Homo-oligomer: A and B are copies of this chain.
Amino acid sequence: MTPEQTGIAVPPITPQEYGVGARFTLSVYDSDYVSIILGALGEADADGLVVETNDISTFVGGTEQRVAGFLRDVIAAAAARGAHLSASILLSRGCPGELQCELPPGATALAASPIALAATGVRARAHWSLYPLLDAGQAGGDHMAAIAAAVDHARETGLYAGSDHYATRLDGDLADVLETAANAWILVGRTVQHVTTHLTVSINSPSVVAG
């Protein structure tokens, strides 16, 4: 029975209840990495976000727009120091908790608005993978069709720069790279509850070293 049918108001699910957030590792290829990473994390606006840093990565929870904005700010601040860096980013929505999806009763795929990020002036190249985590027996098409639609969207934005094994290559302003990946994640999330996406972003690379 829907809320409309029962007449009982159901509080909206918050981004935190829906498990909207990111986990990322910022790697700075420089012996001065501690001050660069801590400086970048310290400068970014964490208002309205849950930010938890440990020895492997940093978790950021909040709305799609605020989470992506935080990633943009932290990575751009680190990049401004000039060192070569890479960021390994996981975005997830639709599955809070750890080993089980601890969603409020009745929750299914929850739409969110596309995000928009201001340009940074920092060129980023990225490998990007998108995972619509369907269950067998569920309605909603096949996972590769959802991925193909997202890549078509990346072509339209001009960020698409080729396909390598297991990943799509994006190339452009850091803000546009993050925006393209996040908006595909949000778009697939309109019909699939649990969607994750992984990005490896490379900035200030001096060469073709895999670093």
A8 lies within 8 A of chain B by Cβ:
no
A31-B30, A99-B163, A202-B56 known; A134+B127 contact, CB < 8 A = no
Chain multiplicity (copies): 2
Q: Are A165 and B21 in contact (CB under 8 A)?
A: yes
- Report how far A92 CA is from B144 CA in the complex, Å: 14
User: Which of these binds chain B: A34-42, A112-120, A179-187?
Assistant: A34-42
A43 lies within 8 A of chain B by Cβ:
no
Cβ-neighbour of A165 out of B23, B129, B205 (below 8 A)? B23
- Report how far A21 CA is from B55 CA in the complex, Å: 28
- Minimum Cβ distance to chain B for residue A55 (Å): 5
How many chain A residues touch B (CB < 8 A): the figure is 74
A86-B25, A167-B90, A208-B53 known; A135+B125 contact, CB < 8 A = no
- Report how far A57 CA is from B205 CA in the complex, Å: 12
A10 lies within 8 A of chain B by Cβ:
no
- On chain B, the residues within 8 Å of A23 by CB distance are 127, 164-167
Which residues of chain A (77-109) have a CB below 8 Å from chain B? 84, 86, 88, 90, 92, 95-96, 98-101
A65 lies within 8 A of chain B by Cβ:
no
- On chain B, the residues within 8 Å of A141 by CB distance are 135-136
